[in-house]
Structure 1
Amino acid sequence: MSTGKDNPPQLTPEEYFVWESQQLEKYEYIDGQVHGITGSSVNHGRIAVRLITLFVNHLEGSGCDTGNSDLRVNICGTNNYTHPDISVTCDDRDKTTTQYITYPCLIVEVLSAGTEAFDRGSKFRMYRKNPALIDYLLVSSTGIQIDLYHKDEAGNWLIISYQEGDTIALKSINLSFPIEQVYRGLNLTPEA
């Protein structure tokens, strides 16, 4: 996340929705401030598309919906809005809103050098306030590495680190898949 290039004024949530719809890029809205979303790599885009396709195919007919980075997520109990790379909601309350969802059970962020610290730190602290969130998946775009933050039945967050040869298990949507399915054919080199 970075500050918007034109330093937009502090906005209300309603003003943010209108303002962002007039922009060429996406912006997140945190504590009344608008922040531009940094660009992504080819690997970032390909990984996101593969995961979205996997989730959509798995969830067909389930009543759950998968969103890409165009879909805003309202941080539960706040007026903050983010654009995660992928979100899945199975909550009927999200079927009545048109500007955002509030109750995703799964959020995925594909990491880049510019966003990794925020995605692991402040953003996760915001996301975990959501009682519906079960899985928060952080996916490397430069190596075969995926970290899963999973909320267990007692409400504790566990971190599971996956690497080459592992099978990812997302209890939020009852899906398991080999990690290689995400990375096949990608040129995994560190970002410049």
Structure 2
Amino acid sequence: MGLPLKNDRLDMQAYLDWEAQQPGRSEYIDGEVFAMVGVRRVHATVALNIGAALREHLRGTPCLAFTADMKLRVETVDAFFYPDVMVTCNAQDRRAELFIEHPLLIVEVLSDSTAAYDRGAKFAGYRQVPELQEYVLIDIAARRVEVFRRQPGNEWLLHDYADEPDCRFDSVKLTLSLATVFEDVDTAEDQAPAAPADPQ
């Protein structure tokens, strides 16, 4: 997360009005506005892979999957976030225009600049959503899917799918292969330029 965009603090409605006039997306936390940085190709690819799989899986159900262009409102911490992927089965959210408030699944794809925030302060904010059942972190470099599941007493249990062929999102009863999650994501070797040929 970068530095605040505006020096003056905004209330919720002022933020919504201001952001509607901006070319880019910005998150809002307790009166401060933070610009959303662009993502790398692999980040966008993984988020779309998961979003598409969820969309297809949830077709014909009361649940909807959203990708990064839909805001999440967390009223208890006075914040608006843009999760990479989220799912809601709430009837109010189905009628919402600008933001949803009751997701049961949130997915964030980690990057070097946001990993600490996604694991720390952002997760702390997400935990204030009563309906949230699972928080998923995708580590592209490690080919790892970490699923935090809410337990009784508001405790969270981690299942690390680093060495398994599939991962499972219990909140929506979806089993997804890691091959699908990371489809079309090149390895570091694939991305490296070819070594020059030895001169003859």
Q: TM-score, normalised by structure 1?
A: 0.92
Matches within 5 A, 1:144-159: 144-153=143-152, 155-159=154-158
| Alpha-carbon separation, structure 2, partners of 1:96 and 1:88 | 14
Letter in 2 for 1:3: L
Counterpart residue number, 2:46: 47
Letter in 2 for 1:112: S
Matches within 5 A, 1:7-26: 7-26=6-25
Counterpart residue number, 1:166: 165
| Aligned 8 A contact 1:38 1:114 in 2 | no
| Alpha-carbon separation, structure 2, partners of 1:189 and 1:142 | 8
Deviations 1:91-138 (A, max 9, x none): 112134322100000001111000000000000011011110001010
Calculate percent identity across the aligned residue pairs. Answer: 29
| Aligned 8 A contact 1:11 1:32 in 2 | yes
More displaced 10-residue stretch of structure 1: 152-161 or 113-122: 152-161
Letter in 2 for 1:54: A
Q: CA deviation at 1:164?
A: 4.3
**Mapped pair 1:111 → 2:110:** yes
Matches within 5 A, 1:47-66: 47-66=46-65
| Alpha-carbon separation, structure 2, partners of 1:90 and 1:111 | 25
| Aligned-residue RMSD, C-alpha | 1.9
Counterpart residue number, 1:135: 134
- What secondary structure is seen at the aligned counterpart in 1 of 2:161? strand
Counterpart residue number, 1:3: 3
Moved over 3 A (4+): none
Letter in 2 for 1:37: M
| Aligned 8 A contact 2:46 2:183 in 1 | no
| Aligned 8 A contact 1:143 1:188 in 2 | no
| Alpha-carbon separation, structure 2, partners of 1:54 and 1:159 | 22
Q: TM-score, normalised by structure 2?
A: 0.88
